[in-house]
């Protein structure tokens, strides 16, 4: 395995933005593969005084931080002891008011089921300068690394991103089933039995293909292709564990042709 380059050895081709003291950058780290970082996210890693990061940001990405940066863990994982959102937000405000350049680093994209909107709203209300740095969301990159396109001209003209976990009760699965569009689900592992049943009640066939991608874009990535009628039992038997992205729809049938990622290609 090749050694990671040090942050000092990574030169950016241009100065992209001014990371000012007393400001917060809300950045997406992508789904796991360090190669999917944006240049702005890399600049934030190299220039931040404090990095407040999530559980899904891997060690290879955190290794790109400046040696002088202070790292603060603020992970939120379902079913495990986690930092409260209000505490995380208040910490960002506190650090910024102390004059630090604060990088709030999230897995995926901060504005796609990442609570980045809530944190940005709180910063705006307190008068804290901030910048949004979008990241590649796992709902697009995970299936792509599994050879499953989010859209294909012969299969669909729309795609639905949805969360399987919601404090507001979750989506209307029967209504989503009626659209016929492929569904890309985040945080749906525990809720899959009820989701699958509701989708079939809403008209989706039990034969509808389902793709489950765990640890997307990392060296631990695993993929299960199953069907809506058997996905719950097949997933239980697979030994796979979250985090996972679940794709439900005809685009999953393209995986045998588009599965481009040989095991020997290093990623993640």
Give burial (CB, 10 Å; 0-12/13-18/19+) of 68.
exposed
Per the residue annotation, which of 33, 109, 187, 215 is the catalytic one? Answer: 187
Cα–Cα distance measured from residue 241 to residue 265, given in angstroms and rounded to the nearest whole number: 22
Contact 31, 146 (CB under 8 A): no
Query: Is 109 marked active-site?
Result: no
Query: Is 54 marked active-site?
Result: yes
Tokens of 205: 């066939």
Contact 28, 106 (CB under 8 A): yes
Query: Is 187 marked active-site?
Result: yes
Q: Is 30 left (phi over 0), alpha (psi -120 to 50) or beta?
A: left
Per the residue annotation, which of 54, 106, 109, 215 is the catalytic one? Answer: 54
Per the residue annotation, which of 76, 174, 200, 259 is the catalytic one? Answer: 76
H helices of the chain, in order, are 39-47, 59-62, 85-97, 116-125, 138-145, 173-179, 192-201, 231-238, 255-258
Cis-peptide into 243, omega within 30 deg:
yes
Q: Which residues are catalytic?
A: 54, 76, 187
């Amino acid at each position: 395995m090749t050694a990671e380059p040090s942050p000092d050895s990574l030169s950016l081709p241009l100065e992209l933005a001014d990371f000012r003291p007393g400001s917060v950058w809300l950045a997406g780290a992508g789904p796991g593969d360090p190669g999917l970082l944006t240049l702005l996210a890399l600049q934030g890693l190299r220039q931040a005084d404090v990095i407040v990061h999530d559980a899904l940001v891997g060690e290879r990405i955190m290794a790109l931080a400046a040696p002088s940066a202070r790292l603060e863990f603020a992970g939120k994982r379902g079913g495990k002891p986690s930092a409260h959102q209000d505490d995380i937000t208040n910490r960002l405000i506190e650090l910024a008011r102390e004059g630090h350049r604060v990088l709030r680093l999230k897995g995926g994209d901060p504005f796609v089921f990442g609570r980045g909107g809530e944190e940005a709203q709180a910063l705006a209300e307190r008068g804290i300068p901030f910048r949004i740095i979008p990241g590649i969301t796992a709902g697009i990159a995970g299936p792509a690394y599994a050879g499953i396109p989010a859209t294909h001209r012969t299969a669909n003209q729309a795609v639905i991103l949805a969360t399987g976990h919601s404090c507001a009760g979750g989506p209307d699965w029967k209504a989503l089933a009626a659209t016929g569009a492929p569904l890309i689900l985040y945080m749906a592992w525990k809720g899959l039995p009820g989701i699958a049943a509701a989708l079939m009640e809403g008209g989706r066939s039990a034969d509808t293909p389902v793709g489950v991608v765990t640890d997307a874009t990392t060296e631990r990535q695993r993929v299960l292709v199953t069907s809506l009628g058997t996905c719950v039992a097949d997933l239980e038997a697979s030994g796979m564990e979250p985090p996972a992205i679940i794709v439900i729809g005809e685009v999953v049938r393209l995986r045998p042709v588009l599965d481009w990622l040989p095991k020997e290609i290093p990623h993640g």
